[in-house]
Amino acid sequence: MNPGAIFLLASVFFILILIFSYLLKSYLQFRSKKEKSEHKDTSDVGFVVDTFHELVAKLKEKEKELEILKKIAEQRAEDVESYNKNILQSVPSGVISFDRELKIESINSPAEKILELRAENIIGKDYLEVLGKAISNILKEGKSVERGEIQYRTSSGRWVWLGLTFSPLRDSEGRDIGHILVFTDLTELKALESQAELRERLSSLGEMSAGIAHEIRNPLGVIAGYTKLLSRKVDAALLPTVEAISKEVEVMDRIISDFLSFAKPVDLTISKVNLNDVIHSCMASIAGNISNIEVSIDIDKTLFISGDEILLRQAFTNLIQNSVEAMRDGGKLSFGYKDMGDYMEITVSDTGHGMSNGIKEKIFLPFYTTKEKGTGLGLAIVHKIIVSHGGTILVDSTEAGTIFRLRLPASN
């Protein structure tokens, strides 16, 4: 029963006691007077009746006042509840409340979006039925958590970083009535931190390795020269061996050339670049390798970004080549964009085999590759080009495919 109803019943009971007491007192006075004077009997009864009617009238007035006060109190309670709900739905953090048995009582919109859940599908259910292992392990322990960080896999297979707090939920009197989980999506922040760390590592690596690459190239040139001399003088039986050495020298020289290109500082020539033209040009350069791949380019033909056109072509070509190699049995390659005001977010997505979480964290490192004949510099060069433009590159990957998200400055 709500506080307004209790207050109303208590007030009515108290008034009835007052009426009964007053009537009893009046009756006793009436009996006393009757013994003294019977001729006043009629007037005393009339007095009691009039008094009773007067009290009843006052009681009705009080009931009306109490009813008005009750409605006001209920309206205020509804307003407070509605206000609290609006706050929960408006905050950017996810909020989930549980009862004492850890069954879900409520979930706000940001929590639905971050965890890819629907309120109507989970309200009233046990946490183990709907929440993933990472969160369930925290709830199972039942201990309060402040500023915890976990990696969580959503129902679609997407990995997100969550910063969370788990604590008891108490009523106005301080009694435990359940638990509350508050969390924030840290995925993008973690990616930016990772890229900043990678940028520093690559900068140091580039400065150190450029000199080493030059030193390796000099003796490699000597080896290439002697190999050519040998090819002219050795017997025919040894010629395949000499040719094999020559091919390996060429491979090493190409790797060193790529690495020197990666290690040297980027000198940008900034201009207004038509993104649609750049992507179509990159697609045309590898047209012979995509006969079994469906291509979708959803890029406004009037969309311009600020950047170095030659370097951007190189970056997109490397990304496209990476996606094509992930779809050897065919698939779909898609390009899209979103205007974010000061910058453009361009997406390059494929329906290839995807990559594991461990691989995803290393793909921008130089010489890291999962391909038999790859040098491991393609995506490292893409990362360097995008970062040199003042942009960022993020990657989401599941078994259903991979999405690269490039953010580049919009053209003024």
**What total of structural domains would you count in the chain?**
4
Are residues 399 and 279 both part of a single domain? yes
pLDDT tens string 311-363: 898 889 889 888 888 888 888 999 998 888 778 889 999 988 888 777 777 77
pLDDT band at 33 (very low <50, low <70, confident <90, very high): low
**CB neighbour class for 368 (10 Å; exposed up to 12, middle 13-18, buried from 19):** middle
User: Is residue 392 within 8 Å of residue 190, measured between CB atoms?
Assistant: no
Are residues 309 and 398 both part of a single domain? yes
At position 195, the amino acid (one-letter code) is Q
Are residues 285 and 356 both part of a single domain? yes
pLDDT tens string 237-263: 778 887 888 888 887 777 777 666 666
Are residues 40 and 60 both part of a single domain? yes
Are residues 44 and 153 both part of a single domain? no
Are residues 283 and 395 both part of a single domain? yes
- Give the integer Cα–Cα distance in Å for 179 and 182: 10
Are residues 291 and 361 both part of a single domain? yes
Taking Cα atoms as reference points, which of 374, 256, 393 lies closest to residue 312?
393
- Give the pLDDT score at 208: 64
User: DSSP of 191-252, one letter per residue?
Assistant: HHHHHHHHHHHHHHHHHHHHHHHHHHHHHHHHHHHHHHHHHHHS-TTTHHHHHHHHHHHHHH
Taking Cα atoms as reference points, which of 147, 387, 110, 394 lies closest to residue 265?
387
The residue with tokens 């307003």 is 79
Are residues 100 and 153 both part of a single domain? yes
Are residues 302 and 390 both part of a single domain? yes
Q: What is the CATH number of the domain that holds 158?
A: 3.30.450.20
Q: Which of 63-77, 127-141, 145-159 has the lowest mean pLDDT?
A: 63-77
Percent of the chain with pLDDT over 70: 69
Which of 57, 89, 121 terminates a domain? The answer is 89
- Give the pLDDT score at 40: 47
Cα-trace Rg, the chain: 39
Are residues 349 and 330 both part of a single domain? yes
Provide the residue range defining the domain that includes 281. Answer: 271-409
Which of 185, 218, 252 terminates a domain? The answer is 185
Are residues 277 and 229 both part of a single domain? no
Which of 263, 282, 297 terminates a domain? The answer is 263
User: Is residue 110 within 8 Å of residue 92, measured between CB atoms?
Assistant: yes
Are residues 373 and 313 both part of a single domain? yes
pLDDT tens string 170-227: 877 778 888 888 888 887 777 667 666 666 666 666 666 666 666 777 788 888 888 8
**CB neighbour class for 297 (10 Å; exposed up to 12, middle 13-18, buried from 19):** middle
Mark residue 156 as left, alpha or beta (left: phi above 0; alpha: psi -120 to 50; beta: remaining).
alpha
